[in-house]
Amino acid sequence: MTKSLRRALPLVGAGALVCLASGCGGNQDTVAPASPQEHSITKLFWVMLGGSTVGFALVVALLWLGYARRTRPGLPRNVGDRGATRLVVGLGIALPIALLIALFVWSDVFVITSTAAPGRSSTSLAVDVIGHDWWWEVRYPGTQVVTANEIHIPVRTRVYISASTADVIHSFWIPELNRKIDMIPGQTGHIVLDADRAGVFRGQCSEFCGLQHAHMAVSVVVQSTQAFHRWLDANSRPASSSEPGEQAFLGAGCGECHQIRGTAAQGDVGPDLTHLELRSTLAALTLANTPANLDRWIRHPQAIKPGSRMPDVRLSDADWAAIDAYLRSLR
């Protein structure tokens, strides 16, 4: 069993490497870079992985040598205690010191400059991201646009992200675009997002933030500049719905927590719903935004996301249907 295991391991390892390099995961893959920043991090990783593999192989080879020559004292070529001590000094002190200094200079002096917080003037668009238990508020300073869990940015544009929190510590991280930045009460962190291709990139809160830490995801939608501006325009308008469900919505108390611009709903506990139907997911990427899911989510939030701030509310089926229709008209 152990022999076959030993033979299988390199295969599994190699398979995993190929898989990693080709981006076999979803769209939350650290080593599938889609920005200059993430490219530099990924390069750093592959080089370190290469060096580590050589080092690991050396150690395993020495262990194997010890086993293979277990009946013979001493090292090959009659290297004795003195020679072995020199090897310890060379391999255990001199060589690692040289390699570590090189790594330090490369990563912590040079690479770090590309992933560090950008100067505001080096960017051409600003987005504020605010972490909440357990969703993301997204604002575009200078516009009316407020949305949630879905950040739209134009491709090949340096975007200045300001990350802060409304409650506990969260961490903003889009693995394919850049490093993460913690959202800590009392301070604002900054990173740059600079996608070099269009697409949807998923991210997830990466600082433990309580019950629904697992269901606090966000997606970054990278689009052409024109498409982005169309989206921004659409989102900056107040709600214009002719559906009668607005009264049912307000009557059920939803407006205490949610804002719908242009209506009496002005809450700030949950996400802004002004253009809910323009978003592709619900509950911070927990569900796809389909009519069925929307209905299920507003009726049974505690079953889908236990502990969420959104309460289970008892209403008549007619009211639910009216609210469903109203929410689906918010586009």
Question: Which residues between 190 and 229 bind another protein (CB under 8 A)?
Answer: 190, 202, 204-215, 217
Query: Taking CB under 8 A as the rule, does residue 236 contact another protein?
Result: no
Binding flag, residue 105, another protein (CB under 8 A)? yes
Bridge-based pairing of strands 125-132 and 159-165 is parallel
Q: Residue 40, Cα to own-chain centre: how many angstroms? A: 17
Q: Which residues contact 264 (CB under 8 A, 6 or more apart)?
A: 250, 255
Which range touches another protein (CB under 8 A), out of 136-144, 150-158, 165-173, 231-239?
165-173
Peptide bond into 46 cis (omega under 30): no
Name which of 74 and 253 has its Cβ closer to another protein. Answer: 74
Instruction: Provide, rounded to whole angstroms, the least separation between the CB of residue 310 and another protein.
Output: 15
Beta carbons within 8 Å of 239's beta carbon, 6+ residues apart: 260, 261, 262, 263, 274, 275, 330
Q: Which is nearer to another protein, 239 or 284 (CB)?
A: 284
CB of 249 to another protein, least distance (A): 28
Closest separation in Å from C-beta 144 to another protein: 28
> How many chain residues touch another protein (CB under 8 A)?
101
Residues 6+ apart with CB under 8 A from 324: 245, 291, 294, 295, 298
Q: Choose among 169, 204, 45, 190: nearest CA to 116.
A: 190
Distances (CA, A) of 50 to 54, 56, 57, 171, 300: 7, 10, 11, 29, 49
Question: Which C-beta is closer to another protein: that of 47 or that of 264?
Answer: 47
280 binds another protein (CB under 8 A): no
Is residue 14 at the binding interface for another protein, with CB under 8 A as the rule? no
Residues numbered 57 to 86 that lie near another protein (CB under 8 A) are 59-60, 62-63, 65-67, 69-75, 80-81, 84-85
DSSP reduced 3-state for 121: helix
- Min dist. Cβ of residue 112 to another protein (A): 5
Choosing from 168, 250, 313, 325, the residue that interacts with another protein (CB under 8 A) is 168
Non-local (6+) Cβ contacts of 167 within 8 A are 131, 132, 133, 185
Which of 126, 166, 169, 313 touches another protein by CB under 8 A? 169
Question: Is residue 257 a contact point for another protein (CB under 8 A)?
Answer: no
Q: Based on CB atoms, which residue is closest to another protein, 91 or 257?
A: 91
Judge whether 227 and 201 are in contact, CB under 8 Å.
no
CB nearer to another protein: give 153 or 217. Answer: 217
Q: Is 50 in the site for another protein (CB under 8 A)?
A: no
Does 91 engage in binding with another protein (CB under 8 A)? yes
Paired strand residues for 125: 159
**262: left (phi > 0), else alpha (psi -120 to 50), else beta?**
left
Q: State the amino acid at position 215 in one-letter form.
A: H
Residues 292-331 that bind another protein (CB under 8 A): 306-307
DSSP element (H, E) containing 159 = strand 159-165
Q: What is the DSSP letter of 280?
A: S
Residue 100 found at the interface with another protein (CB under 8 A): yes
Residue 155 near another protein by CB under 8 A: no
- Bridge partners for 148 per DSSP: 137
Taking the complex as a whole, the smallest distance from the CB of residue 223 to another protein amounts, in Å, to 22
Task: Build a one-symbol-per-residue string for 115-144: x at contacts with another protein by CB under 8 A, - elsewhere.
Answer: xxx---------------------------
**Residue placing its CB nearer to another protein in the complex, 56 or 197:** 56
Tell me whether residue 207 or residue 272 sits nearer to another protein (CB atom): 207
